[in-house]
Every structure is written in structure tokens, then in C-alpha cells.
Amino acid sequence: MVTEIAAAKITSAPPLDLLTRLRLSILMLLQFAVWGAWFVVFFPYLINNNFTPAQAGSLIGNMALGAILSTMVAGYVADRYFSSQNLMGVLHLLGAGLLALMAQYQSPDQYWPLFAASLAYALLYNPTLALANSIAFTHVPDATRDFPGIRVLGTVGWIAAGVSLGYLFGEEATKGNGPLLLAAALSAVLGVYSFTLPKTPPLGRAGDAIPFVKALGLFRDPSFAVFFLVSFGITIVLAFYYTTTGAFLESGAKVPGDRIGSTMAIGQVAELILLPFLPLFLYRLGMKWVLALGMFCWGLRYLLFAFGGPEGLAFALVIVGVALHGICFDFFFAAGFIHVDNQAPRDIRASGQALFSFLTYGVGMWLGNLTAGYLQGVYTDSSGVVNWQQFWLVPSIGVLVALVIFVLFFRLQPAPATTTTES
């Protein structure tokens, strides 16, 4: 396979044990199935239940707000005191209960109880994204070679969850609370499974500097600082996709409610196909241009959405925009996590991953979610019709600005690093 040939040229690390690969792959599958089961349809679900766009944007934004408030704390605990797999188990079991509670609040007069429950859930779920990556990176011989093949199972989980919504709930997928209850069940399963994962004890030592403080020290590298700051900026506009694409497909492209999950799954299928080839692209293009290509495709996607519609060529533009998720996610987020693992010292690896999550899934996504909800209100007329063209042009321009800054100031040489760890 071409990716294996490329991997052989850039690493001499031993092969990944098959059982370890299977255990970590199941972790990724369940981790993203939990998220994909409810998050894709949550915004249209709220709108269909008479929440305002601003309320829906703030509720969606709680996922990112949770990353701001909790991710670095979880990274600190995992680096110093608590085995990562046990922390994962506790967080997902508690999260299952909160998802079930969120499912009980279905009307605008219950906005504040739903806000509190969704924020509490976000505080528990967001750290598990960084923890799952940290567990995987700890137990693979070479992150650049091995991580994409494991992370791709997360995409499978997201696809399976999204496609299942239409079959399980029909048009109620964007009107009823079934997706939240499905996510609660999956979270409970993952919580129990987490306790069976390979042991990942804390690597920090007593007397060491706080891992969060040491992770901030990565900013001393100018290229790493540019990487973090541009990632933060671009994620503000990336949040538009996660927040409002479901609503856009339903009202702008006229996709039936029971097909929104499966339509968005087209993007995850493209991600599934491309992710195993990420090591090859990293070897051929280098980290800088892989990240730049990912950013460019985010901007192109929004431009396609701006000129897309429900019929003919306009609808084809929408589908191409959704399919670009394969490059958008793989070449920006997945490659970004690999870059952090290659740069962060071993004893602060969890905090390094958490810092990247904090800036992207956290602050950037939170600001982006609030902005997307606000702009949807701005571009909605008195009859409730959204001017989607004007709406999507805003993030398209934002991505272009971030891309130009990144290309001009990111100077890292295209030399993939090898990460060797002990299992």
C-alpha cells in the first residue's frame, strides 16, 4: 500500500501491535459516534422546537465553552495524577446521564435548564477528545505513521451514528429527542469500555512545572506560535460548518429532515477515504502545506455553499462542499494533532493536546458558534427566510485571511518527526 511505502521512508519504528490497534480503534469509533449521534442535528432540532437562532447558537456554543473551561484541567490531571483511561471512563459515564437529562428539555421555556445541562455535559465530554488522542499517541510506535489509521475509525463511528439517525427516527431526527438518548447509550458503553483500555499512567513527576505552564512554553517556537494562533483564528469560522450546516441543508438546500444526517455523512465518507493517506501527504508536502491545503478547502467549501441551492448544479455545489470535509478535517485537525504530538515533550503530551483542543475546539469554536448564530439572525428576514449566500461569504473571507497569514509566517521545514513511546 502506498501509505506503507511512504511510512517506511520516514520511520524505523517497530510495527504497531494488532491487538493494540484494535483496542485504540474501538476507542476512536465510540468516541466520535457519541458526538455524531446528536450534535449534527442539534441545531435544526432546537429551531424546529421553536428556540431562536441566538438561543440555538448559544446552546451549540456550550460544547466549545466546555472545552475552554475544562480541557486544560483534564490535561493537567492526566499528566500528573490520574490514568487517562480511567479518567475517560468516569467522564463518559457521567456524560451519559447528562445527555439523558438534556433530552428532557424540549421547549424554549426550558432554555436555562437545557443551557445548564448542556454546559455541564460539555465540561465532561470535551476533555475526552484530548484524552483519546493522548492515549492513542502513548501506545503507538510512530504517531505520523500509525495515528491516521486509528483515527479513521472515529470517522466510521461518526458516519454510522449520522446514517443511523434517519433509519431509527425518520423525520423526528430533527424534531424529537431520540438522537440525544442514542448518544447517552453510546456514552455509557464507552464509559465502561474505557476502563479496559491500555494503561496510560501520568508521566509528570512531583516537583515538575505544571504541565499547562510547560505547554505554553511551546509558544517560544515562532512557527509553533503561528500554528496555534492561526488555528485559533481559523477555527472561529470553521465553527460555522458544525453549527449551521444542518439548518442550511434543511432550509436552503431543501434536504428532508430524515436525510440530513446521511447527507452530512458524505463528508465523513470522504474523510474515511483520505485519512489513511495522510502520512503520504505529510511526507510529500510537509506539515505546512498539508495544513494550508486543509485551510484552503474550508474556504472553498463555504464559497460553494454560498452559491449552492436545492436544484441542479446549485445542489451539486452543496454536495461537493459537504464532501470536501475529507480534506478540511484530515488536513487541518488530524494533521494538527500529529504536529502537536511531534513537538510537545513526552511528559506534557496530554497538556499539549489539551492546549490545541483549548484553542480550537474551545475558544475558537465557542466564538464561532456565537457568531454563526448571531449572523444567521442578521441574515434572516421578517418572514424567517435566511439569505444563505451572504451568510456563507462571511466565513469564506475569514478563512482566506487566516490562510494568507499562515503561509506568510509559518516557517517549519517539511520534515515529519517520529514519536517513539513505550507501551
The string of pLDDT tens digits covering residues 190-216 is 999 999 999 888 765 544 445 556 667
In a domain, 119, yes or no: yes
In a domain, 321, yes or no: yes
Q: Are 271 and 159 in contact (CB under 8 A)?
A: no
Residue pair 209/53 in contact (Cβ under 8 Å)? The answer is: no
Entry pTM:
0.70
The reply to whether 420 falls in a domain is no
The boundaries of the domain holding residue 45 are: 17-202+210-409
Round to whole Å and give the CA distance between 59 and 145: 37
- Per DSSP, what are the bridge partners of residue 386? 380
- Residue at 3 is within a domain: no
CATH number of the domain within which 379 lies:
1.20.1250.20
Angle between the N-to-C axes of helices 84-102 and 111-138, in degrees from 0 to 180, rounded to the nearest 10: 160
11 part of a folded domain: no
Position 6 in a domain? no
Please indicate, yes or no, if residue 288 is contained in any of the structural domains. Answer: yes
What type of residue is 164?
S
Q: How far is CA 287 from the centre of its chain?
A: 19
Counted domains in the chain: 1
Going from the C-alpha of 203 to that of each of 4, 45, 135, 340, 351, the distances in angstroms are 30, 42, 12, 17, 11
Q: Which pLDDT tens digits describe the chain residue by residue (423 residues)?
A: 444 444 444 556 788 889 999 999 999 999 999 999 998 889 889 988 999 888 988 898 888 788 777 766 665 666 566 788 998 999 999 999 999 999 999 999 999 999 999 999 999 998 898 789 889 988 988 887 888 889 889 888 988 898 888 889 887 888 899 999 999 999 999 999 999 999 888 765 544 445 556 667 777 777 778 888 888 888 888 888 877 888 899 889 998 877 887 788 788 788 888 888 888 888 888 888 998 999 999 999 999 999 998 988 999 999 999 999 888 888 887 788 787 777 767 666 666 766 777 778 778 888 888 888 889 889 988 888 889 999 999 999 988 888 998 888 887 644 434 443 333
Helix/strand/coil for 411: coil
Q: In angstroms, rounded to a whole number, what is the distance separating the alpha carbons of residues 218 and 233?
A: 18
Biggest CA-to-CA distance, the chain: 64
Let me know if residue 423 belongs to a domain: no
Sign of CA dihedral 346, 84, 81, 72: positive
